[in-house]
Structure formats: C-alpha cells, structure tokens
Amino acid sequence: METHDTAGESRDGTPERRDFFRIEDRIGLEIRKLAPDAAIDEQMFDTDHLAMLKTELRRHDQDFRNQLAILAERDRTLTAALKSLNGKLDTLARIMAFEQNPLQPEDWQEVTLSEGGLSFTSASGALKKGDRLAVRMTLPPDLAQAEAVTEILEIHPESADSTRVHTEFVQLSDGDRQQIARHVMRWQIRQRQKG
C-alpha cells in the first residue's frame, strides 16, 4: 500500500504532517535498543569488512548504468545483452550476500517505511515511547542494507502480546537515506507495473 504523507489527522485527532512517501513492505529488520546515555556510534552493528568493496561496487554499477544509457542510443541489441548480463550478476551478488549473512525468518517482517522513519511490530512491553533504537534494514530484492538510529514516537497495542511501534530516524547517513528513497521509488514502480 502506497501512501503520501500529507496533512491529516492522527489517531488521537491532532493535526499530522509528514514529508515523505510511505510504503508497506516486508524487509529484514534487526533492532538493538540503545541505552539512554549511550553515544550514537557510526558502527552500531558488527563492523562490515566488506563495506569498502560494497561502496566500490555501487560506484561501478552507477558508472555501468550511465555508460549503458549512452550505448542504448547506438546499439539496442548490445544494450539488451549487457542489461541481461548485469541482471545475472546482480542475482548472483544477492545469492552470495544472502549466503554470507542470512537473516532468520523472524528477522523479516511487515513494516511501514519512509525516508523519515518506520513502524513495525514488537512484543508488548519490550519498548516504550522515547527509547532510541539502532536499526539495520535489509531491503529486497537486492538485499541492500541501511542503518539508522530511531526514536520511538508512539506505540499502539495490536493484540495482547504485540504492539505497533512508530519511530522517526534521528541519525541516518545521506547514503542510507538515498538507499531508502531508491527502495521506496522502486517499490512504487513495481506496484504500478503489477496493477
């Protein structure tokens, strides 16, 4: 479900204004509750020794896409073949990424995601308004990961043992914000193609 966050009313009837598109999607979500006095660290999760290689791969991928756009004007058959080869490499990279760091089934859940924050389901009583959380989101289908620090804005009971937690990003790098924006945009494109 796609929604554009605009002025409206929240559940308690107060005016509500959001600046980002929201999507409902199933993503990998890892959460760590931060101590109230904890310093916000750039490396909230295990240090990824492949981070530089991933950055380099993204740069090469962007260069490839730019070159492909130029080539498409001259040779459509070659462009189609290179797109197919690139898709094959992307699939192989996703397989390898998943095999190296597989998330358990319970780590995948339905969330509402935007560039401004996310909401997710949690066990009742585990979290409270104002808590800060380190979150790592694995975004399908390419399994790109974005990390952020969030603050809980509100919690709504869903059942006797679960609640819906609404958060906003209080620390999110520009690169991770762009990754989320691309994910939201691609999700919207896929939904339009389906319908």
Residue 158 confidence (pLDDT) above 80: yes
Give 61-83 pLDDT, tens digit per residue.
888 888 988 988 899 999 889 98
Quote the tokens at residue 153.
């804005």
Q: What is the pTM of this model?
A: 0.67
Residue located via tokens 């090469």: 60
Dihedral sign, CA of 19, 189, 194, 25?
negative
Asked if CATH classification 2.40.10.220 holds for the domain at 2-49+107-194, the reply, yes or no, is yes
Residue of 143 and 33 predicted with greater confidence: 33
Flag the least confident range among 102-111, 113-122, 124-133.
Answer: 102-111
Residue of 103 and 177 predicted with greater confidence: 177
Domain ranges of the chain: 2-49+107-194
pLDDT band at residue 100 under the 50/70/90 scheme: low
What are all long-range contacts of 142-145, with beta carbons under 8 Å and residues at least 24 apart?
A: 142/90, 142/93, 142/94, 143/28, 143/94, 143/97, 143/98, 144/179, 144/183
- The pLDDT > 90 percentage for the chain reads 36
- Using DSSP's 3-state secondary structure scheme, residue 153 falls into strand
- Cα–Cα distances in angstroms (integers) from residue 63 to residues 56, 67, 157, in the given order: 11, 6, 47
